[in-house]
Structure 1
Amino acid sequence: MASLLRFADSNYFLSGTFLEDIKGNHPILVDPLWKSTKLETQFRDILLPQTNANQSFSLVTSGSTGSPKLVWKDWDEVQKEVDVWLQETELQSFLKGVEEIHVQVPLCHLYGLLWGYLIPKALGLRTIVGQKETNHPSKLSITSAPILQMTLSNGSKLPERAIVSGMKFPVPLARDLRYKGGISVLEIYGSTETGGLGYRDPLRQNRFQFLQEIQFQFQNVGETAELCVKSPFVSKRYYTFVSNEWVLQEQKANEYYATGDLGEHSDLGFFLLGRKDRIIKHKGKRVSLDRIESEILGLRLDGIFVCVPIFHESGDSIGLLTNSDLEVDVIFQMLRRELPDSHVPRVIVKQTSIPKLPNGKTDYTTITSICKETFLKQIAEKTMRETVRNIKSDTSVSEIIQSILGYEPKENQHLVYDCGMDSILYTELFLKLEQKIGAKIPEEDKQTSYFASVAGIEEYIAEKVYLQ
């Protein structure tokens, strides 16, 4: 049976066209932002997949590569998920007193379709899509962490409650939202392929609570474990685009679906570490790049921040690209002060815009190339600078500090409180300073305020050289 391609905007759903399509067609729902991009060509010029299933539709998704995937959803699967969510006591309590829902996410994605259209429709709630022109904040918004962060930073009116999805919601942001806006947040966990898996209140729960219908197990992936699930909502088939043709992938009955998410489970719930392809080993610890992005979002810094891995023979590291107006040294200082050492990037690159794929998603491949190029330049520059073994008397204090922190702080900035220099970095500092002056620095001198800033160190070194 033929499939019908639909660039599905909000009017497509709110006008009832989607429900009509389900009855007689098999609509393939594509984000309207894909119009007039190279992604549209892959749908216009290549024969679309066909299906004999009754009342089904396809959601088009794409990952960091921008290559599209068609995920087929049977109407019975989706309706079953709606029914399950409506039976959750946590959700019933969260929706109490709500008469309308303000939707700030696309309805053509599963999260938006369920929470912005199908669930409100089942409850008889009014759906308002886009910006709401009113002097009163909405009672409930279907939104995302970045949108809430932007709303808070702009001083705009916040909703009383928000349902979010798409990333592990940063606790500091949830705390700010509750403190400054009295807003309550419910975070939904799941994907297009799996449907909803669980939820949590990011302010009081570090772990997700699975829905009762979810069966799960874990498979080892190196030192961590990948979540595998089985539920009535997991899609039974999807198509990937390979060598200019659609290739069918099918999920066998009673088979567990590997989510690609790493984490662990206890009686308290599921702790999500991050996506399998977004986890690296940095400074001896396994860290999630998605979690670092979430932590930075929680700091409410100006701009957008994207984390990427940098793989190098000297060891894996982290690159950070941003369009922030903040100076790089200021960003470094804040991240060193607020984040664990294993989460602090080695490279920070500033540019006016964030590279995007034709589908509107972040272009991680391009960003990785930009950050790695900067990283290699820094290595080359560091190689040219004096190291511990060959620092000379004419090597400046600023050059020594820069070789340790990766940037040159202002002369009166406090190396601990402003720059986040820890005991390990201080040990390297003293070794290099002793190499410069050709003498040991007494332990009692190390405890003085001279070593709190570049200016103080320069003053100490000048006196030490003079006394020699």
Structure 2
Amino acid sequence: MSTPSVAPETAQRSLPLLPEAAADSLAAMLGDEPVSRARLMREVLALAARLPEGRPLLNLCSSRYQFALGLLAGICRGNLSLLPNSLAEGNIAALRERHPDLLCLSDQGSMPFDLPGLHVPARDPGGPTPEMPLIPDDRLVACVFTSGSTGQPQAHLKRFGKLVRNVHSQADCLRALTGPGFSVLGTVPFQHMYGLESTVLLPLFGGGVLAAAKPFFPGDVADTLARLPVPRVLVTTPYHLRNLLESGTPVAPLACVMSATAPLAVELARQAESSLGAPLMEIYGSTETGQIATRRPTGGDAWTLHEGIRLHQGAEDLSQVEGGHVEQPQTLGDIVEKLDERRFRLVGRHADMINIAGKRSSIAFLNHILLAIEGVRDGAFCLPREGEAARLAAFVVAPGLRAAEITAALRPHVDAAFLPRPIVFLDRLPRNATGKIMAADMQALIARHIPASDHDAKA
């Protein structure tokens, strides 16, 4: 894993680190403990004073609040925060090789991976309310990595001003549903671009309240939400949302639910809005672009671009976005249909498009049909091998169902060329914290459960 070279700053203007707010206004919740804006800034600047200027940071804090302290302190001090998609030893070793002076930030008792580092406490040093720092808007502040769900993770640098503009667009969309002020709780990891934007930067830069907790199980999500001030916003994924709804756990009133990382079935969106009593806003974006569009799935399939983002369609189903907070023109990984200057429809993902017997479909579409089958708790199509004998297979978590029943349920909606064979039943799928299945994990499943000779025989 490598990171791009860091160019020197050429700042022409500066922005305040955080938007204007009263010193005693609520900035975060540490469990049941409220944190004021003044305390947050005292902790940020105390940590910034301890950082060696310009040294790259590996922020491994497990608390969302302490992670935010480390990120903001690095922004103040001019330290680039490296946010790898995985903490596998190989990834960390690659970062250390690229950045020999890497400094770890942690809220644990000892430094992970035997890295040199600093402990990040959650403790108010006291004193007067500090003056808000001004940050060059083109300061490089973070290096985020793609998830690896379609191949090797790629690094992308983010500048302070672009991140602020990104979050302001998101906050404008959110406030249309919640009104002013909101508490944000996320079930997604905050090192991931979606989690970084929506559970850390959105409350910090958008005038909300950051929740330090990172619950996973439905009961923990409900318990944490109940302790947050209203209006409450839940930032989640289709996978986590499905688990919450299937658990039947009562949830405190919500003002909005946000979802991203995978296409959301309209049926699941309707169920969520009905059960949770809140509008569901779906986010479209990527690590490369950040969040660039939103939609309410129950209101239609069209996405609306954030202000300033421009979409261009080219040949061979390739589309490009630029403008707004997008660092540089980016080719989308998805096939989209442009409806007008602000709206588009999602057709499928380039990496998901398959052609079997002269017929074309999308893995994402097929997964959507599979997950809509009653009794299927989780599932994913795959293409074990390509070529003339190519045939799809599927891994499913569906206690009580047989393969013939799943095939029968798929047949009215899926061309016979795309019916999976074999269907492999598992107790669980190896989804990561954002609900995705990494390319390497899918290949491992194929190697373990669908030997080439067996697949050739079935094809």
The letter of the residue matching 1:40 is I
Corresponding residue for residue 260 of structure 1: 333
Distance 1:180 1:82, change over 3 A: closer
Corresponding residue for residue 177 of structure 1: 272
Do structure 1's residue 81 and structure 2's residue 173 form an aligned pair? no
Corresponding residue for residue 466 of structure 1: none
SS of the residue 1:105 aligns to: coil
Please state how far the C-alpha of 1:146 moved relative to its aligned partner.
Answer: 0.7
d(CA) in 1 for partners of 2:67, 2:433: 26
SS of the residue 2:318 aligns to: strand
Do structure 1's residue 193 and structure 2's residue 288 form an aligned pair? yes
Corresponding residue for residue 72 of structure 1: 157
Which of 293, 312, 334 is 2:367 aligned to?
Answer: 293
The letter of the residue matching 1:116 is T
SS of the residue 1:156 aligns to: coil
Corresponding residue for residue 385 of structure 1: none
Percentage identity across paired residues of the two chains:
22
d(CA) in 1 for partners of 2:82, 2:90: 17
Q: Give the TM-score normalised by the residue count of structure 2.
A: 0.68
Distance 1:291 1:13, change over 3 A: farther
1:356-383 deviations in Å (ceiling 9; x for gaps) = 7999853232234456537x5255268x
Corresponding residue for residue 28 of structure 2: none
The letter of the residue matching 1:364 is M
Q: Give the TM-score normalised by the residue count of structure 1.
A: 0.66
SS of the residue 1:16 aligns to: helix
Please state how far the C-alpha of 1:290 moved relative to its aligned partner.
Answer: 1.8
Distance 1:15 1:202, change over 3 A: closer
Distance 1:300 1:136, change over 3 A: farther
Do structure 1's residue 365 and structure 2's residue 405 form an aligned pair? no
Q: Is the 8 A contact 1:214 1:231 kept in 2?
A: yes
Corresponding residue for residue 204 of structure 1: 299
Please state how far the C-alpha of 1:147 moved relative to its aligned partner.
Answer: 0.7
> Normalized per residue, which structure has more helix?
1
Do structure 1's residue 5 and structure 2's residue 80 form an aligned pair? no
Q: Is the 8 A contact 2:382 2:392 kept in 1?
A: yes
Distance 1:353 1:83, change over 3 A: closer
Corresponding residue for residue 153 of structure 1: 246
Q: Which has the larger radius of gyration?
A: 1
Which of 421, 429, 437 is 1:346 aligned to?
Answer: 421
Corresponding residue for residue 196 of structure 2: 113
Q: 1:206-221 to 2 correspondence within 5 Å?
A: 206-221=301-316
| Stretches of structure 1 lacking an aligned partner (at least 5 in a row) | 237-255, 383-468
Q: Which has the higher relative contact order, 1 or 2, with Cα contacts under 8 A spaced 6 or more apart?
A: 2
Distance 1:26 1:137, change over 3 A: closer
Which of 352, 364, 377 is 2:454 aligned to?
Answer: 377
d(CA) in 2 for partners of 1:57, 1:364: 29
d(CA) in 1 for partners of 2:418, 2:277: 30
Which of 173, 178, 182 is 1:95 aligned to?
Answer: 178
Corresponding residue for residue 271 of structure 1: 345
1:107-137 deviations in Å (ceiling 9; x for gaps) = 1222112211222223432222323426959
d(CA) in 2 for partners of 1:163, 1:212: 19
Please state how far the C-alpha of 1:177 moved relative to its aligned partner.
Answer: 2.1
d(CA) in 2 for partners of 1:278, 1:75: 33
SS of the residue 1:208 aligns to: strand
Corresponding residue for residue 27 of structure 1: 80
Distance 1:124 1:151, change over 3 A: same
Tell me the number of residue pairs that the alignment of Structure 1 and Structure 2 aligns.
355
Corresponding residue for residue 37 of structure 1: 89
The range that moved more, 41-50 or 314-323, is: 41-50
d(CA) in 2 for partners of 1:196, 1:13: 24
SS of the residue 2:188 aligns to: coil
